[in-house]
Structure 1
Amino acid sequence: MLKQFFIICSGADTDILEQCSKGEQNKYAGIGATVFFTALMAFIAASYALYTVFDNYFAAIGFGLIWGLLIFNLDRFIVSTIRKNGRFFNEVLQVTPRLLLAIIIAIVISKPLELKIFEKEINQVLLEEKNVLTLANQNQILKQFSPNIKALETEILNLKKEIEVKQTEVNQLYNTYIAEAEGTAGTKKLGKGPVYKEKRNKHDALLHELETLKLENKTKIKDLEQRIVKLNKSYDTQVTKTQPIINNFDGLMARITALDKLPWLPSFFIFLLFLAIETSPILAKLLTTKSAYDFKLEEQELALKTNILQNKNQSEALLKTDYAINNRVYSDIKDEKELYNYKRKKARELIELQADAFFKNQKNVL
């Protein structure tokens, strides 16, 4: 049962193979098994590749099954159309386009399986790329908010510096009137005289201005700090919104690009493995000698070709004979008076019918 299934997979004529030896049947069963398992690997590879695209098991398996059947049909067609004619050079020319197609199929099959085999390494590369993209995204978004935040922070510093300058002036006036009272500076008279009172009043007025300035600037600073907090929240919100796009940066194209960044030798060996699997039925049929199956198939095709040529020649001879007979018949009867009178009678009847029909049409119009 299984052997018969693999023989069908090989594309060989089962009726002819039944007349061949067991060894010949086993050879084509092996070729069919290779075709079947290649299609199975194509189904698995395509399903995995499409799962990374659709993220849905049913869609991936459905399209993967279609792809596997397509590869199966192509391989079966390639193997079944190779004919052994005993001339190696002609057979190589016959196989060359099929080998090129097999190489393309091997590349298409091996690439998704490479993605699965090196999945952990690819995930590491993707993680590093995501981190780079995350930092770049944060910096890019920060450029939109940074000028406004820096302007507000500068304004806060200016307000604080304004208070510090006023505080310095108040301290200087404080030291001045204290020194005047102690007699260490100014008039150098001990006690609280008119000069002391004047300096004290100036200090108190400036101190009042300082307190007012502190209250005003404190309100302004609080408002500016709230605006900075809002900008920081907007920045965090923007980063949060764009982060899922980066997190989903692991599609098929991204994984293939990440695979190309890994060492090429392991991937190359996997490709060679699938290339060997894909081309093995073709090479096996090319390198084997002409066997009983090939002779019987050639004999059957030759018999069919001979039969077609015989029918063609017979039809051509029959057509020529028919032409010759018809020419003689018409040549013999062309001068017969009876035939002439009969055709003349029929022609007259036809003309009369046409005249009557024309008359009726014209009468209906009038």
Structure 2
Amino acid sequence: MTTRFERILWAIAGAERHILEKCRTDHKKFSAIGATILMTSIIAFVAGSSAAWYFTKNGVDASGDFLGAVIFGIIWSLLIFCIDRSLVITLKKNPTAIAYNFKEKITLFIKLYFTPLFTRSLLAGIIAFMVSVPLELFIFEDYILSNKEDFEANEQRILGERLKENSGEELFNDRIKSADVTLNRLGQEKDQLKSEVEQFEAKIDKLKREKQTPNSKEYIAAQNKYNIARKKYNELQLNYRAENKKKEPSISLLSSYERQIKIAMNDMQNAQKQLNTAKLAWENRIQKEIDSNQLVLNEKKSAKEKTEESYNNTLQSQLNDKNHVQELVDERRTREETKGNALSNGNQFITNFQILEYSVWQRDKNGNLTDITQLLFLWLVRTLFFIIEILPTIVKIVSPIGSYERMVYAEEQAIKEYVNSGEFKDSIFRIQQLKQNERENAIKCQTEAELNIRNEIAKQIELAQVDVSKTYIDRWKQKELKKIESMHNENSGNLNEV
């Protein structure tokens, strides 16, 4: 004796009740299939409601829209129910399929087992994944919360790297580094040129001082000769003055002194000329060396000024690049903060799923998974839902062909034979003929009704035209009578006057 709940499970499994009641050996199989579909739908309701609750929860809201979540859960569970029920109903068996050789067995296996199982497994995998995700978020809620901060930091880092790459910040940093190398080189050149300029300035100052104090061999020789001549001249002058101061100076001795003084003066003048010539030669040689060093000094100063100008321009360009980079960094940080706020205040369903996937697939420096336990448990949950989803199909495929399948197949074949029989074709022809006669009679009645309506309208129009004509004639008659009466009155008045 079957119960009402068992018959409900049969209906859920898509079984024909009037046939299944006759097949007692298949009652439990279809009850199990119906129960599995029912449980999957219930789980789908919980998952859909949970997902909708997450979808309607933004940021730090305490909860989502409960009523909306329940409505979505019902719609989602009905959708999963219809899909699961369709997967089971559309899977039918052929009790007459028999294979006699290996090739036919392979073909029959592919047709009856592999193809339906493979196609339904793909759809079941998608459905199982969609059903399991909301429940995964509920199961791993604590794990998700513990890894939320790390995930947000990683998302901001990835966004920062992408923004940094797209903004050209690296290009400016390369230019800044290149400018550092250039500034280092120009700074060394500038310091070297400054040292060389100072060396040449010191050398020129030294040469100018040397120019004031000649020190050549010619000058020293001429100076010694001049000193000797002057000393001799001074001695002769002293002797001459001493002799001249005597009471009785010797005329001959004075004359001799005068000649010697004259000769000494000539020698001193010649030595003076030689000394001036040597001094001039010294000054010219030193001046020539000063001019040569001054030319090099001017070149060094010009090079130093150009180097300083290049250094300042490079430094200014580097400062501009640094300011630009700082602007890009500030903009990047602002967008990273915006991303962080979006993660915190956005839809929690997608965010939590991303956190879960990021956490279980995270690897260490050696490329090894950091939390393989959570990953295995996650896929265990998904596999469980996949098994639940595909289980009715597997039960329907692997179970032996029972009396229910045989009766359904026999009834379908009987219907197929009846449809292909002449009796069915005659009945269809008679039905079509009756429909055709009904359509013709309806058209005939419609035509007669339209004709009667047109005749009635024509009669009414004719009567109306007659009434209008009579009215028009009466008005014309009255008008003419008035004219005749008026003419008669005028004639009578004329006769009376006469």
**TM value normalised by structure 2:** 0.41
Question: Conserved in 1, the CA contact under 8 Å of 2:88 and 2:392?
Answer: yes
* 1:79 match: 88
Find runs of 4+ consecutive structure 1 residues off by over 6 angstroms. 131-137, 240-244, 316-319
User: How far is 1:243 from its partner?
Assistant: 8.2
Residue correspondence of structure 1 range 140-155 to structure 2 within 5 A: none
Q: Aligned letter for 1:252?
A: F
Shift of 1:262: 2.5
The answer to whether structure 1 residue 60 and structure 2 residue 172 are counterparts is no
Distance 2:80 2:130 in 1: 10
Counterpart amino acid of 1:308?
V
Q: Specify which of 269, 281, 285 is matched with residue 396 of structure 2.
A: 285
Tell whether the 8 Å contact from 1:43 to 1:64 is kept in structure 2 after alignment: yes
Mapping of residues 319-334 of structure 1, within 5 Å: none
Does the 8 Å CA contact 2:45/2:74 hold for their aligned counterparts? yes
Alignment equivalent of 1:90, drawn from 87, 102, 111: 111
**Structure 1 pair 135–13 and aligned structure 2 pair: CA distance change class (3 A):** closer
Is the Cα contact below 8 Å between 2:152 and 2:340 reproduced in 1?
Answer: no
Correspondence for 1:252: 349
**Match for residue 99 of structure 1?**
121
Aligned residue identity for 1:109: V
What letter is aligned with 2:139? I
State the match for 1:270 in structure 2. Answer: 381
Secondary structure at the aligned position of 1:261 is classed as helix
Between the aligned partners of 2:91 and 2:51, the Cα distance in structure 1 is: 32
Task: Note the C-alpha offset of 1:129.
Answer: 3.8
1:115-126 matches, cutoff 5 A: 115-126=137-148
Q: Give, as a single letter, the amino acid of the residue that structure 1 aligns with 2:145.
A: N
| Structure-to-structure mapping, 1:184-203, within 5 angstroms | none
Contact 2:343–2:351 (Cα < 8 Å) also in 1: no
CA distance in 1, matches of 2:157, 2:390: 47
Unaligned 5+ segments in structure 1 are 138-239, 320-366
Judging changes above 3 Å, is the alpha-carbon distance between structure 1 residues 105 and 309 closer, same or farther for their aligned structure 2 residues?
same
Q: 1:106 to 1:314 in 2, by over 3 A?
A: same
Q: Unmatched 5+ residue regions in structure 2?
A: 57-63, 98-107, 160-336, 362-374, 432-498
Q: State the Cα deviation string for residues 89-136 of structure 1 (Å, max 9, x = none).
A: 322334433232111111111111111111111112223345678999
User: What SS does the aligned partner of 2:46 have?
Assistant: helix
Question: 1:77 corresponds to which letter in structure 2?
Answer: S
Query: In 2 relative to 1, CA 41–295 (structure 1 residues): closer, same or farther, beyond 3 Å?
Result: same
State the TM-score, normalizing by the size of structure 1.
Answer: 0.54
Q: Is the 8 A contact 1:16 1:297 kept in 2?
A: yes
1: CA distance between counterparts of 2:50 and 2:429? 63
Offset at 1:250? 5.7
Give, in whole Å, the separation in 2 of the partners of 1:6 and 1:250.
Answer: 38
Structure ranking higher on relative contact order (CA contacts 8 Å, 6+ apart): 2
Instruction: Give the alignment's Cα RMSD to 1 decimal.
Output: 4.0
Q: CA deviation at 1:285?
A: 0.7
Structure having the higher Rg: 2
Matched, 1:15 2:18: yes
Q: Show the counterpart of 2:306.
A: none
Distance 2:16 2:80 in 1: 20
Deviations 1:302-353 (A, max 9, x none): 122222222444358989xxxxxxxxxxxxxxxxxxxxxxxxxxxxxxxxxx
Distance 1:113 1:318, change over 3 A: closer
User: 1:244–1:299: structure 2 CA closer, same or farther, 3 Å change rule?
Assistant: same
Q: Which amino acid aligns with 2:112?
A: E
State the shift of 1:5 in Å.
Answer: 1.8
Residue 150 of structure 2 aligns with which residue? Answer: 128
* Distance of 1:78 and 1:97 partners within structure 2: 10
CA distance in 2, matches of 1:7, 1:269: 30
Q: How many angstroms apart in 2 are the aligned matches of 1:316 and 1:49?
A: 52
SS in 2 for 1:262: helix
Cα distance in 2 between the residues matched to 1:112 and 1:27: 30
Aligned mate of 1:305, from 412, 416, 419:
416
Q: Are the aligned partners of 2:151 and 2:358 in contact in 1 as well (CA < 8 Å)?
A: no
Mapped contact 1:133–1:246 kept (Cα < 8 A)? no
Distance of 2:339 and 2:397 partners within structure 1: 57
Aligned length: 237
The alpha carbon displacement at 1:73 in A equals 1.1
Deviation string 1:129-177 (CA, Å, 9 cap, x unpaired) is 456789999xxxxxxxxxxxxxxxxxxxxxxxxxxxxxxxxxxxxxxxx
Match in the other structure for 1:45: 47
CA gap 1:103/1:248 in 2 versus in 1, 3 angstroms: same
Q: CA deviation at 1:25?
A: 0.5
- Give per-residue Cα distances to partners, 1:38-94, cap 9 Å, x unaligned: 111111111111111111111111101110011011111110111011444322334
Q: Which residue pairs with 1:27 in the alignment?
A: 29
Counterpart in the other structure of 1:348: none
Whether the 8 Å contact between 1:82 and 1:95 is mirrored in structure 2 is no
CA change 1:122–1:242 in 2 (3 A) is: closer
